[in-house]
Structure 1
Amino acid sequence: MKRERPHVVVTRKLPEAVEARMRELFEVRLNTADRPMSHADLAQAAREADVLVPTLTDRIDQTLLAAAGPRLRLIANYGAGVDHIDVATARTRGILVSNTPGVLTEDTADMTMALILAVPRRMAEGLALMQEGRWEGWSPTAITGHRIWGKRLGIVGMGRIGQAVARRARAFGLQVHYHNRRRLHAETEAGLDATYWESLDQMLARMDIVSVHCPHTPATYHLLSARRLQLMKPSAYIVNTARGEIIDENALIRMLKRGQLGGAALDVFEKEPAVNPDLVGLPNVVLLPHMGSATEEGRLEMGEKVILNIKTFADGHRPPDQVLPSML
């Protein structure tokens, strides 16, 4: 007897090749308009679908899961982060959650290194000077920044992306330091030539550049609080390509305006998609629209992982990228 194809609802537009493959394999409802679904639309999809494919902009909370239909058995997230999904509630309701780990590591690490370079070297200011036609020629004292060679880089969160950043940083002559929930194995740590700090406070006080790479969880909300930000050197820079909620954004803005930090480079924001207007226009800040993982190759690989998770589940097996509450 032929197995019935699962009914899959996708909340945002995905790459065409991914959508085409989904149409071949599943009964799928796509979001061709690419407008974010309202909470009511998401609830309706959860009542109808066997598999829901959300993205980081979709809030899959306890209320929505309580209203889900009996058919919903898998939430196959298009993305690695699952802080927008109530994984614990999903599990109690017998709904599996999967994600797409690993495929965005190198892309995000590349963007992080670009930002680590951009702020000390004042690239955004130089670009604005050129685009606005204000450049009057070379001068020995114009747009002078700071070298990163020999500086101390403190990585907050030494998972896949943190380690990929560490590998790149060594090539740029940075001294790599890190704070992590668990210390790396000695062999891995030696391979990265990285120094472990058990105390985040002590590490922050000694770094020239701090780069954030931990997930957003209740434990990491405002991990870089006003108190911790004030521990940093006035000349230090902070880079965030992880989640905006990890930094107390209002405290960061106050310090940047007062000259208590050298600068910041942010690809994520605390109230996304809203960006605090006090951040916009600060000369020592580089802002990007959450594009750290935005490569065509990465987006395709994410789709392939989603499809594999759904196909494996539909065949009666555990999805290879299942997320458990204990993993968070």
Structure 2
Amino acid sequence: MARILIAEFMDLPAVAQLQQAHEVLYDPQLVDQPARLLDEAARADALVVRNRTQVRGPLLQALARCKVVGRLGVGLDNIDLPGCAARGIAVLPATGANALSVAEYVVATAMLLLRGAYRASDAVAGGAWPRPALSNGREIGGKTLGLVGFGMIGQTTARLARGLGMVVVAFDAMMENDDPAFAESSVAPLGLAPLLANADVVSLHVPLTEGTRHLLDAARIAGMKPGAVLINTARGGVVDEQAVAAALRSGQLGGAALDVFEHEPLAATAHFADCPNLLLTPHIAGLTAESNERVSTLIAQRVLEALR
């Protein structure tokens, strides 16, 4: 019987599935108790984390007998992949399990930001009638969605967007233009610069690497279609947050939805103060009741397989 350490929240039926076969310590608060986490890690044969647990440095060194790290999500920038490989630790992400949740977030925020009318409840309830000011919103049908990154989440987003009548184009530095995924999704491959220049909505779906850090900087944002909407559900470091704020204030960007930030949780900061048509959410695009069940079940199954 192996010992499994779960340091962040996991769907309880999936935890029970693990407990049927192995000894399990499940404590979603463990991520915030570094000394205890290191102590428990030394006795773990498997570790299950989300995005906050940093599997590197002291924690990686403490995993003396660990065989597998299960990641309840898809981003792996919180895990030292070469370090895990050197220690013979398999890293198992929940690829695809939260794709629909992220795709729905992208489409929903795109519609909200384009229309620009859904924050009037307090004004209308208070007796105001801002009909003229809210009568020039934009429809999503016929608009062009530009996907930067065309993996499973990007492809799922494309399917939903096309169902709403959007034209979808995509750029992925890791894919050739003749990759069958483009044709199968009825998506046109484009270079990054032409995508930014032509898309009414730009949605980011790339991992955070040295090559993608501040991929959307001031210069690239200036190259976007005036009035376009930017959505980031990937990683915060992929965009220059201050450049986004400046572009919103100038009108170069017509709206932005940011679910991820360079430093999380986002500190109280002035650079987003008074930005028009801005949505900020706390890294929850991939988190729904349904996706948590899918992600947790998939990782439980994969961890059990790895421990056989």
Same fold by TM-score greater than 0.5: yes
Match in the other structure for 1:43: 38
Q: Of residues 20, 29, 49 in structure 2, which corresponds to 1:54?
A: 49
- Post-superposition Cα deviations, 1:197-232, rounded to whole Å, max 9, x if no partner, equal 1x3122212221111111222221111122211111
1:242-297, Cα deviation, whole Å (9 max, x unpaired) = 11111111111122122221110112222111154532552311122222122222
2:302 aligned with 1:302, yes or no?
no
CA contact (8 A) 1:124 1:286 kept: no
Question: Could you say which residue in structure 2 is the equivalent of 1:8?
Answer: 4
Q: Residue 101 of structure 2 contacts residue 285 of structure 2 at CA under 8 Å; is this kept in 1?
A: yes
Contact 1:81 1:215 in 2 (8 A): yes
Q: Of residues 223, 237, 257 in structure 2, which corresponds to 1:245?
A: 237
CA distance in 1, matches of 2:305, 2:205: 30
1:138 offset after TM fit, Å?
6.6
2:250 maps to 258
Residue pair 2:15, 2:300 contacting (<8 A) in 1 also: no
Aligned partner of 1:115 in structure 2 is: 109
Mark the CA change 1:140 to 1:243 in structure 2 (over 3 Å): closer, same or farther.
same
**Given residue 114 of structure 1, which amino acid in structure 2 is its aligned partner?**
A
User: What secondary structure, in the 3-state scheme, does the structure 2 residue paired with 1:59 have?
Assistant: coil
Alignment pair present for 1:74 and 2:68: yes
Whether 1:105 and 2:93 are equivalent positions in the alignment is no
Q: What CA distance in whole angstroms lies between the structure 1 residues aligned with 2:170 and 2:261? A: 22
Task: Map 1:305-320; keep pairs closer than 5 Å.
Answer: 305-315=298-308
Deviation at 1:29, TM superposition (A): 0.8
In the alignment, the residues of structure 2 paired with residue 295 and residue 216 of structure 1 have an alpha-carbon distance, to the nearest angstrom, of: 23
**Is the Cα–Cα contact under 8 Å of residues 31 and 37 in structure 2 kept in the other structure?**
no
| CA RMSD, Structure 1 to Structure 2 (Å) | 2.1
The one-letter code of the counterpart of 2:47 is L
Structure 1 residue 110: Cα displacement: 1.0
Q: Which segment drifts farther, 286-295 or 173-182?
A: 286-295
Q: Give structure 2 stretches of 5+ with no counterpart.
A: none
Q: Secondary structure at the match of 1:75?
A: strand
- Counterparts of 1:1-328 in structure 2, within 5 Å, are 5-31=1-27, 34=29, 36-65=31-60, 67-130=61-124, 133-137=125-129, 139-142=131-134, 144-181=136-173, 182-183=175-176, 185=178, 187-197=180-190, 199-275=191-267, 276-279=269-272, 281-315=274-308
Structure 1 position 161, deviation (Å): 0.8
Residue 68 (structure 1) shift: 1.8
SS of the equivalent of 1:52 reads strand
- Structure-2 separation of matches of 1:47 and 1:190: 48
- Alpha carbons of structure 1 residues 62 and 142: separation in structure 2 relative to 1, 3 Å: same
The TM-score, its normalising length taken from structure 1, stands at 0.86
Structure 1: which 4+ aligned runs deviate by more than 4 Å? 184-187
Q: Aligned AA for 1:55?
A: R
CA–CA distance in 2 between the matches of 1:53 and 1:205?
41
Cα distance change, pair 283–63 in 1 and its aligned pair in 2 (3 A)? same
CA separation of 1:288/1:69 partners in 2, compared to 1, >3 Å: closer, same or farther? closer
Answer yes or no: is the 8 Å Cα contact 1:126–1:143 preserved in 2: no
Call closer, same or farther: CA 1:69–1:14 in 2, change over 3 Å: closer
Gaps of 5+ in 1: 316-328
Q: Deviations over 1:170-214 (max 9, x none)?
A: 1222111111121354543233222111x3122212221111111
Change (3 A) 1:202 1:311: same
SS in 1 for 2:219: helix
Q: CA–CA distance in 2 between the matches of 1:71 and 1:186? A: 40
Displacement of 1:7 in angstroms is 0.6
Against the structure 1 CA distance between its residues 19 and 194, is the aligned structure 2 distance closer, same or farther, given a 3 Å change threshold?
same
